[in-house]
Structure 1
Amino acid sequence: MTTPPRSPAALLLLAAAALGLLLLGATPAAAHAELTGTTPGDGEVVAAAPDRVTLTFSESVSLADDAIRVLDPEGAGVHSGGFTDEGDNTWAVPLEGGLGDGTYTVAWHAVSADSHPISGAFTFSIGAPSETVAEIPDRTGDDGLTGLLYDVARYAAYGGFVLMAGTAAFVLVCWPRATALRPVQRLALAGWTSATAATLALLLLRTPYTGSGELADAFDLGGLRDVIDTRAGTALLTRLLLLAAAGLFIAVLHGPSARLVTTGGAAEGDGNAEDAEDAATRARDLMFGLGIAGTILAIGTAATWAMSEHAATGRQTGIAIPAHILHLLAVAAWLGGLATLLTLLRTAPTLPRAVVRRFSAVALTSVTVLAVTGLYQSWRQVGFSWSALTGTSYGRLLLLKVGLVAVLLAAAWISRRWTARLTDTAPERPDEETDAGTDAGTDAAAVAESPERTRQLARQRTAVRQARERRARDADPHRAGLRRSVWAETAIAAVLLAVTTVLTGTTPARTADTAPAQAAPAAPRGPVSVPFDTGGERGQGTAELDLSPARTGGNTLHVRLFDTEGLPTGAVEVRVAFTLPAENLGPLRHEPLHVDVGHWTLTEVQLPRPGDWEVALTIRTSDIDQVTETATVTIT
């Protein structure tokens, strides 16, 4: 049987390894908002230069000053002035006048309402596509080293909060006397330190994470000021203030409260019932006040996550935010309490069975709350679609989380069985009298020795006492079994927390399953060449048909005529007709507009269905010389 490690360091290493594997294996975090439409459309060819470009998102986003850039074929910016909010999650950026023909690139970068950065690009052409397209500079900060550091800080913030709140809940509800134990005090301080340091790191990393990705930007005061004005920045700053108050709470909980508990215990041991009762009353009053204050602080701190993540966007936010807060509090009470119980099983000389049973009741309540709120959150973010559950990253991570919770519950069931076998009778230790006599003789001899010798003997006595206590703890097989099962629960909980961290940075399955796939900007399809011969003088040549973007919906058609020497040639009339033989649709007849020598264009060609469309091109070069040629174009 594997022996659980005797130091929390091993557990921290396990949690870090789990987080590292998840983060290294995960794709860059996608966000809740999606780009749902643009004007001009991606790949669209327009006859005249538009005066602005608009972008529409599925949900609200925030944009920096240079969030939308429009670049000409050579990479120079052609947007003039800042963007404007058009309402309905639509943003517009004005363009300079007199833009020439060619392919233009629109690069955008935004932050969704659930605090995650999103970015992308698309192209459109004026007149005709150009051979060159601007290169889009990489400006995403949610991947690479910046993204990794940000995710590690998010995990540390979650873990610190769980440890801090769970330890306090265990002390206040299950065993107030644990507040005077050094290992429990160190555990609470470790949680508070981790949550505070991680939150400060998140606030500093916010600028590079949502911007350029350069770590040096973390110390840009202007960027920090802009971050604080956002929803995520306000939540992080509020969390820092609440954690400052939580530091005072922890100091009182493990300071005056611990002294009152110790005083009451000492008075009771001395037989002074009146002093013991008075100290116990004051301790209960202080614990009651601390319980109220701690609950308020825990709810407020949990709300800083709920108000800036998935719960704050989408539907039913009025229910989703309180449910998210309850979910976080239940996680803290269960998992943080597990870490506290494991620490006490390792270090406390005795652990009353009533304490373990109280925590068992707390854990059962927490699991019930987690089940109810988790089911609601799953329905809200996934729905009842099997494809959303199995075909999206969010759904697969959710299935993994459910599996880990099932394993965790199995380990908890084993722990409950060990709890039922615990006794409050400590194992007999026949060496106590011998050790006591040895200590008394040593004390008498140490009086005549030097102070250094006295300190050395004190350290030896401490080591002997700790070894004796450890032997006593290990002599109880039920306690040892409970310690192993609780360690297994805590280890699974550390991995579960890592999965949850990645899950909060992933696009909800409902959005990912219904959002249109965003293709990367692609080069426009090449023209189709069609030879023609009208039979008249100079009636031979080649027609080039260029249909863009060759998708269902609106398209633009360019017709260019060339003579046998490859020079542009004219015609009296040009007509086109579109037919989809597979569905007996058409013909859809159009007359292109003559824009230049040998060049005709037709905008807003509506092709409603995908498939292989036949294009009938009619060319008339005189009153009697005319021919109709056909070509096939594929519409996706």
Structure 2
Amino acid sequence: MSNPAQLPPCRRAPARLVAALVLALFGLVLGAGPASAHTELLGSDPAQGAVVPTAPGEATLRFNEPIRVVTSAVHLFTAEGAELATTARAIDHRVVVDLPGAVATGTYTLAWRVISADGHPVAGALTFSVGAPSPKVTAPTLVSPTSPSLQLALGAVQALVYLAMFLAIGLVVFRQLLLPASVGTGSARDALLRVARRAADVGIAASLLVLPLTTINQRGDRLSALFEARSWEIDLSDPEPVAAILAMLGLALAVTRSARGRIQAVLPLAAGAVALGSLALVGHSRSSGPAPMVITSDVLHVLAGSVWFGGLVGLALVLRRLRAEPETALRTVDRFSMVATGLLVAVGASGTLLTWRILRSWHGFVDTSFGQTLLVKLALVAVVVVLAAINRWRLLPRLRREVGSGATGAGPAVDRLRRAVRIEGLVLVGVLAVTGVLVDRTPERPQNTSASTAPTPRATATADGITVTLELDPARVGSNAVSVSLTDGAGSALTPYAAPTLTLVHGDVRLTGLALTEHLPGTYHSESVLPKAGSWTAEVTVRTDEFDARVIPVRFRVGR
């Protein structure tokens, strides 16, 4: 048996790892700004459905969080469907649209598409009239929904970014902190660096490709636009290019060997933390609050996940090369096993908090596509946990007994453990692939299965003792009168703490901020232009007191 005193104390590795995590988290959280859970239109000027005596020089849209606009993101249509020239600019929480100076009397529709804090596009429309409403309004052609091929390509490249980055940085951490010093150069240590460099190359290429794909998605364009020069233009004031540049620089520096001495030991870890931290600069954590807690959890989640995944791949590589050195293999496995327990706790705790802040309800797991995809990820994680428990409590003790017996050379315990580690790593590849899909998927609000789906102008839904009745006239594409009635469990009219708000959703089209005017106690009226036929969801937000607000979805169909 080798003398344990020749090796650094095992506790130094977790201590160094924790220190690196804390420093990375501290820096990233300080740079993060607050954001809201969902991008919503709070109001507009002119207001939705307003009739103004003269044509306004500009229109203003007010949102609940800072937003961005992309080129050709706002369109103004006449009642006949003809488009008029406009220019738009984003100012913090507002979008200011310069309108034509002289327009004819009638109804106009302002179709908009903005980028939320988490980088996802949100679309909607505002209608107003100059002088008097038009007797007939033709539904305008809004920004096209994202094509399935673009969604597939963007999800696949995002998954590749996560997979390559987790592997490269995880292997670097494993090589720097967890691999015993007795494993010198020219063997397993060099093999780990070679694999990490290849993964970093893939991660850099994927991070670069994400930029034009994200731009195309935000514009609402087709995948073929990837070959247009404008899709490759970047604006460093946007978070996506900044995150991609940090990721590429971090990956390149993490696998470098040019540094010497103490810098050689610290630079790869610091660069890896920057690369992984860049993932939290965009995505769902930027649109959930409170920002310090959510972003800290997000950074901790990716750091712990990377060390876990990279450590498993590192173990598989090292165990193959240390078959003739079972004692060294045992020390390596012991070190990773001790750290893996803390990593599992970190991944579980941070993942739970992020899920709670993004979905906000148990129904979201089964009633939304985001929640259903998240369930797939959780199921795969559960498989990984079971495999990790088998490795920790069955296979590792066998390896200890084999080494303690004084056997020389590789035994069956090493081979069994290596196979189990490889299987665990393959399942984690599936976890990262699903994560890449989730990153590009907008967490939609859960749909109420009790809501009516019949193609009628009347639909109802009940939640938490509140029944919402929605009526539309004529319930067809174009201008519609909307009525919302609230009743309690006894069927009596319900007067909420404040007037409810209404959002109409169809795919990626969101008609937000629709003003509801009280007509009778518990009954409210509004008007809206519905641009598309098919299944819609009305999200009625009912505030029952100063602090409690409930979103009740009502599903209905719009005819042509």
TM-score bin, normalised by smaller chain: 0.5 to 0.7
Task: State which structure, 1 or 2, has the greater radius of gyration over its C-alpha atoms.
Answer: 1
2:174 is the counterpart of 1:170: yes
Where does residue 144 of structure 1 map in the other structure?
148
**Residue type at the aligned position of 1:494:** V
Where does residue 61 of structure 1 map in the other structure?
67
User: What TM-score comes out, normalization by structure 2 length?
Assistant: 0.67
**Residue type at the aligned position of 1:194:** V
Where does residue 256 of structure 2 map in the other structure?
248
Per-residue CA shift, 1:297-338, capped at 9, x if unaligned?
A: 122112211122222333222233233222211101101111
2:104 is the counterpart of 1:100: yes
Q: Would the alpha carbon gap of residues 217 and 151 (structure 1) be closer, same or farther in structure 2, given more than 3 Å must change?
A: same
Q: Would the alpha carbon gap of residues 54 and 180 (structure 1) be closer, same or farther in structure 2, given more than 3 Å must change?
A: same
Identity %: 26
Question: Does the aligned pair in 2 maintain the 1:228–1:237 contact within 8 Å?
Answer: no
**Residue type at the aligned position of 1:72:** T
Where does residue 426 of structure 2 map in the other structure?
491
**Residue type at the aligned position of 2:209:** A
Per-residue CA shift, 1:387-429, capped at 9, x if unaligned?
A: 3454334444444433332221111011112111113489989
Where does residue 407 of structure 1 map in the other structure?
383
Distance 2:416 2:518 in 1: 72
2:362 is the counterpart of 1:386: yes
User: What TM-score comes out, normalization by structure 1 length?
Assistant: 0.59
Where does residue 546 of structure 2 map in the other structure?
none
From 504, 510, 513, the equivalent of 2:439 is 504
Distance 2:178 2:494 in 1: 76
Where does residue 473 of structure 2 map in the other structure?
525
2:455 is the counterpart of 1:481: no
From 528, 551, 576, the equivalent of 2:483 is 551
Residues 148-163 of structure 1 aligned to structure 2 (within 5 Å): 148-163=152-167
Per-residue CA shift, 1:83-114, capped at 9, x if unaligned?
A: 463x6x23232333443355433221221111
Q: Would the alpha carbon gap of residues 291 and 551 (structure 1) be closer, same or farther in structure 2, given more than 3 Å must change?
A: farther
Distance 2:315 2:373 in 1: 28
Distance 1:604 1:480 in 2: 68
Q: CA deviation at 1:147?
A: 2.6
Distance 1:154 1:50 in 2: 45
Question: Does the aligned pair in 2 maintain the 1:551–1:610 contact within 8 Å?
Answer: no
2:331 is the counterpart of 1:345: no
Q: Would the alpha carbon gap of residues 80 and 159 (structure 1) be closer, same or farther in structure 2, given more than 3 Å must change?
A: closer
Where does residue 349 of structure 2 map in the other structure?
372
SS in 1 for 2:473: coil
Distance 1:138 1:70 in 2: 12
Distance 1:610 1:124 in 2: 26
Distance 2:156 2:386 in 1: 28
Q: CA deviation at 1:215?
A: 4.4
Per-residue CA shift, 1:55-105, capped at 9, x if unaligned?
A: 3333221112432111113443335443463x6x23232333443355433
**Residue type at the aligned position of 2:108:** Y
Q: Would the alpha carbon gap of residues 428 and 421 (structure 1) be closer, same or farther in structure 2, given more than 3 Å must change?
A: closer
Where does residue 326 of structure 1 map in the other structure?
300
**Residue type at the aligned position of 1:551:** S
Q: Would the alpha carbon gap of residues 398 and 222 (structure 1) be closer, same or farther in structure 2, given more than 3 Å must change?
A: closer
Gap runs ≥5 in structure 1: 1-30, 257-285, 430-471, 528-545, 554-580, 586-602, 614-635
Q: Would the alpha carbon gap of residues 57 and 292 (structure 1) be closer, same or farther in structure 2, given more than 3 Å must change?
A: same
RMSD of aligned Cα (Å): 4.0
Residues 575-586 of structure 1 aligned to structure 2 (within 5 Å): none
Q: CA deviation at 1:205?
A: 2.6
Per-residue CA shift, 1:484-518, capped at 9, x if unaligned?
A: 32122112211111222223333447x7689xx9x
Q: CA deviation at 1:611?
A: 6.4
Per-residue CA shift, 1:157-189, capped at 9, x if unaligned?
A: 111111111111111222242753364333212
**Residue type at the aligned position of 1:483:** R
Distance 1:97 1:525 in 2: 33
SS in 1 for 2:391: helix
Distance 2:479 2:229 in 1: 50
SS in 1 for 2:282: coil
**Residue type at the aligned position of 2:388:** A
SS in 2 for 1:607: strand
Answer 1 or 2: higher relative contact order, Cα 8 Å, separation at least 6.
2
**Residue type at the aligned position of 2:519:** L
Q: Would the alpha carbon gap of residues 389 and 205 (structure 1) be closer, same or farther in structure 2, given more than 3 Å must change?
A: closer
Question: Does the aligned pair in 1 maintain the 2:107–2:129 contact within 8 Å?
Answer: yes
Question: Does the aligned pair in 1 maintain the 2:294–2:354 contact within 8 Å?
Answer: yes
Q: Which of the pair is proportionally richer in helix? A: 1
Question: Does the aligned pair in 1 maintain the 2:253–2:267 contact within 8 Å?
Answer: no
From 181, 189, 194, the equivalent of 2:202 is 194
Q: CA deviation at 1:121?
A: 3.5
Where does residue 314 of structure 1 map in the other structure?
288
Q: CA deviation at 1:353?
A: 1.0
Distance 2:72 2:213 in 1: 19
Distance 1:421 1:213 in 2: 57
Distance 1:402 1:360 in 2: 22
Question: Does the aligned pair in 2 maintain the 1:169–1:333 contact within 8 Å?
Answer: yes
Distance 2:417 2:160 in 1: 27
**Residue type at the aligned position of 1:294:** P
Where does residue 296 of structure 1 map in the other structure?
270
Question: Does the aligned pair in 2 maintain the 1:164–1:191 contact within 8 Å?
Answer: yes
Residues 179-328 of structure 1 aligned to structure 2 (within 5 Å): 180-181=186-187, 183-215=191-223, 217-218=225-226, 224-249=232-257, 286=261, 289-328=263-302
Q: CA deviation at 1:123?
A: 4.3
Number of residue pairs aligned between Structure 1 and Structure 2: 433
Worse-superposed segment, 194-203 or 232-241:
232-241
Where does residue 437 of structure 1 map in the other structure?
none
